[in-house]
A and B are shown apart, each in its own frame.
Chain A
Amino acid sequence: MININDLYVRYKTEKGYANAVDHIGLSIEKGIIFGLVGESGSGKTTLGLTLLRILPPSAEVASGSIYVNGTDILKLDEDDMRKWRGKRIAMVFQGAMNSLNPVINIERQVAEPLVIHEEMDEERAIIIAREKLAMLGLGENVWKRYPHELSGGMKQRVVIAMAIITNPDILIADEPTTALDVVTQDRIMKLIKSLQREYNLTTILISHDLPIVSEVADRIAIMYGGKICEVGENEQIIKNAKHPYTIGLLSSIAEPGSSKEIKGIPGEPISLINPPPGCRFYNRCQFASAKCKTYAYKLKSIEEKHDVYCTLYGE
């Protein structure tokens, strides 16, 4: 349903170009929860913004295509893109709960996308907004409240209600649970899962938190330094990870009750600006060899539906 081909998105900075999304390709089937996992500086947020074409002015899509149901949305002009953005593809941003308008009450804010995108009159839109809010566990006592009266978890649900009210085909959630407490995180994830089940909503879940993503995602892609390292079905990534970075990431996760020593990954993430040729993970990889320096990121299929980009599995 979503086909990303050779996408190259970069930011102009004073020191040169930062290659945030460095010639990557991905396929996302309809109706699945697709987890995009990476740490800071991996480029995952940029990928999300590109899908909605809301990149900041300093960023440019240098090449590549993104086909959604047969249409290359990168080639649409802005007027056509507006028919997609917020309507057929919706996004919940990092920290979105803090960008709710403090002077407009909840039901009106949730109704707003309908008023704007479907030119519905506000009264009807509010009725639908109330339905959606109730569905997300926010009842009558919340509808006329203002954002500052709600807890973080409730605000996040309001934001999700706003995103899904137009019944989009695709929902992009960028760090939807950061800064929320554990119980609320669990609830939001359950909410996303139920949206998938009820509406067959294709969800792209962007996060640095692999455990949280792995509890709900059907497929997981791991990103590092603007590149995809590995992509596969949930179990394949969690139980049969092949890329050294994925393996390193898995070994860094502390699970309560387990006395296993957690190992991190030595070194620091590289800068996206003028990256060295070859594998981006080279200087932190325990399996690195000379051929990694000239690696051209050719895809290697480990098993069906499981791809890895690493010299360990063939050039």
Chain B
Amino acid sequence: MNIVDFWRIFKRNKFGVGGLIIILIFLIMAIFAPFISPYNPNQTNPNLFLSKPSLNHPFGTNELGEDLLSLDIYGSRISLIVGFAAAAVSVILGLLIGIISGYMGGLIDEVLMRITDFFLVIPTLVLMIIIAAIIGPSLINVIFVIGLLSWPPTARMVRSMVLSIKEWPFIESAKASNAGRLYIMFVHVLPNVIPIVFANATLAIAGAIFSQASLVFLGVGDVTDISWGEILHYAVSSGALSAGDWWYVIPPGTFIVLLILGFVLLGYSFEEILNPRLRRV
């Protein structure tokens, strides 16, 4: 299916279009943050300690007097960056491992799948916390930790797809023409697996956003970069939450939910479109 056909079907999918709109809104928020946000988010003002929402500060201010609306707007950046980057790492790893495991079979398959099982069984968040605590909480580290620990579901899915693809006659055809294993894996198998991975990748982004927010909230991520998780972290540590300052907590929480929802809807629509059996005519 080419792009034109895909778009035509996608346009009519309400979930997909809805999800896409949500994501686009946040993308615009992130890209144009300096122009949209009313204040420099790092501009402190000790007089405005945890002030309530007002005309000047629609979302109020935090314990340093920084404008929360601006912080919330800038927070979209880290969420999106980490979301895409960590998902990319996880999907690429999942693809590689899934294809190699599925196509080569035998001992390689056994070993790789046992490793995958290991990661599937361990509570990833706990492991993420431990590793992040050990290697240090920089942005790059967070991306890698999330990516490195969320590839197993993708790998499993890719592997089962590869198991069926490798029985198709065109693979034998390639072998009969002297194609080597690596060639077949990356020229024949990979392109046929990628469409399926699309839906999965979108959901991986959603997962990564959530993981990042969780890590930072728990104090393990980099708490100097502005992100929604970080805002929530300080909402708790500054006592704002226990004081009942809902305006500190609700916006970043809602934004996290909305952004994740956007990707989930998009991923759901991809699944529907790429798997014709799920499609409702």
Complex interface residues of chain A between 3 and 29 (CB less than 8 A to chain B): 12-14
Nearest CB of B to A87, in Å: 30
Complex interface residues of chain B between 5 and 19 (CB less than 8 A to chain A): 8-9
Complex interface residues of chain A between 55 and 98 (CB less than 8 A to chain B): 57-58
Report the separation of the CA atoms of residues A57 and B9 in the bound assembly, to the nearest whole angstrom.
18
Report the separation of the CA atoms of residues A57 and B281 in the bound assembly, to the nearest whole angstrom.
9
Instruction: Find chain B residues with CB under 8 A from A12 CB.
Output: 281
The chain A residue sitting closest to B9, CB to CB, is: A14
Instruction: Find chain B residues with CB under 8 A from A14 CB.
Output: 8-9
Instruction: Find chain B residues with CB under 8 A from A13 CB.
Output: 281
Report the separation of the CA atoms of residues A58 and B277 in the bound assembly, to the nearest whole angstrom.
12
Report the separation of the CA atoms of residues A148 and B8 in the bound assembly, to the nearest whole angstrom.
43
The chain A residue sitting closest to B12, CB to CB, is: A14
Nearest CB of B to A117, in Å: 30
Q: Count residues on chain B whose CB falls below 8 Å from chain A CBs.
A: 3
| A276-311 Cβ-contact flags toward B at 8 Å (1 or 0) | 000000000000000000000000000000000000
Nearest CB of A to B8, in Å: 7
| A244-276 Cβ-contact flags toward B at 8 Å (1 or 0) | 000000000000000000000000000000000
Nearest CB of A to B7, in Å: 12
Q: Please count the residue pairs between chain A and chain B whose beta carbons lie under 8 angstroms apart in the complex.
A: 6
Name the residue among A12, A13, A14, A57 with the largest chain B CB count within 10 angstroms: A14
Bin the interface of chain A by size. Answer: under 10
Report the separation of the CA atoms of residues A299 and B9 in the bound assembly, to the nearest whole angstrom.
41
Report the separation of the CA atoms of residues A185 and B179 in the bound assembly, to the nearest whole angstrom.
40
The chain B residue sitting closest to A58, CB to CB, is: B281
Report the separation of the CA atoms of residues A57 and B280 in the bound assembly, to the nearest whole angstrom.
10
Instruction: Find chain B residues with CB under 8 A from A57 CB.
Output: 281
The chain A residue sitting closest to B8, CB to CB, is: A14
Complex interface residues of chain B between 247 and 281 (CB less than 8 A to chain A): 281
Nearest CB of B to A20, in Å: 15
Report the separation of the CA atoms of residues A58 and B281 in the bound assembly, to the nearest whole angstrom.
7
Report the separation of the CA atoms of residues A14 and B8 in the bound assembly, to the nearest whole angstrom.
9
Instruction: Find chain A residues with CB under 8 A from B281 CB.
Output: 12-13, 57-58
Instruction: Find chain A residues with CB under 8 A from B9 CB.
Output: 14
Nearest CB of B to A58, in Å: 5
Nearest CB of A to B269, in Å: 16
Report the separation of the CA atoms of residues A14 and B10 in the bound assembly, to the nearest whole angstrom.
12
| B1-31 Cβ-contact flags toward A at 8 Å (1 or 0) | 0000000110000000000000000000000
Nearest CB of B to A264, in Å: 24
Report the separation of the CA atoms of residues A197 and B281 in the bound assembly, to the nearest whole angstrom.
44
Report the separation of the CA atoms of residues A12 and B281 in the bound assembly, to the nearest whole angstrom.
8
Instruction: Find chain B residues with CB under 8 A from A58 CB.
Output: 281
Complex interface residues of chain B between 116 and 147 (CB less than 8 A to chain A): none
Nearest CB of B to A261, in Å: 30
The chain B residue sitting closest to A12, CB to CB, is: B281
Nearest CB of B to A6, in Å: 26
Nearest CB of B to A306, in Å: 40
Report the separation of the CA atoms of residues A279 and B115 in the bound assembly, to the nearest whole angstrom.
63
The chain A residue sitting closest to B280, CB to CB, is: A57
Nearest CB of B to A46, in Å: 16
The chain B residue sitting closest to A56, CB to CB, is: B281
| B232-243 Cβ-contact flags toward A at 8 Å (1 or 0) | 000000000000
Report the separation of the CA atoms of residues A269 and B176 in the bound assembly, to the nearest whole angstrom.
32
Report the separation of the CA atoms of residues A14 and B13 in the bound assembly, to the nearest whole angstrom.
13
Report the separation of the CA atoms of residues A150 and B281 in the bound assembly, to the nearest whole angstrom.
38
Nearest CB of A to B189, in Å: 27
Nearest CB of B to A12, in Å: 6
Report the separation of the CA atoms of residues A12 and B8 in the bound assembly, to the nearest whole angstrom.
16
The chain A residue sitting closest to B5, CB to CB, is: A14
Report the separation of the CA atoms of residues A57 and B8 in the bound assembly, to the nearest whole angstrom.
21
Nearest CB of A to B10, in Å: 12
Report the separation of the CA atoms of residues A57 and B279 in the bound assembly, to the nearest whole angstrom.
12
Report the separation of the CA atoms of residues A46 and B281 in the bound assembly, to the nearest whole angstrom.
18
The chain B residue sitting closest to A11, CB to CB, is: B281
Instruction: Find chain A residues with CB under 8 A from B8 CB.
Output: 14
Nearest CB of B to A289, in Å: 38
Report the separation of the CA atoms of residues A14 and B281 in the bound assembly, to the nearest whole angstrom.
8
The chain B residue sitting closest to A13, CB to CB, is: B281
| A31-63 Cβ-contact flags toward B at 8 Å (1 or 0) | 000000000000000000000000001100000
Nearest CB of A to B39, in Å: 50
Report the separation of the CA atoms of residues A245 and B201 in the bound assembly, to the nearest whole angstrom.
51
Report the separation of the CA atoms of residues A58 and B276 in the bound assembly, to the nearest whole angstrom.
13
Nearest CB of B to A191, in Å: 34
Report the separation of the CA atoms of residues A13 and B281 in the bound assembly, to the nearest whole angstrom.
8
A-B contact pairs, 6 of them (CB 8 A): A12-B281, A13-B281, A14-B8, A14-B9, A57-B281, A58-B281
Q: Chain A interface (Cβ within 8 Å of chain B)? A: 12-14, 57-58
Q: Chain B interface (Cβ within 8 Å of chain A)? A: 8-9, 281
Closest 5 CB pairs of A and B: A58-B281, A12-B281, A14-B9, A57-B281, A14-B8
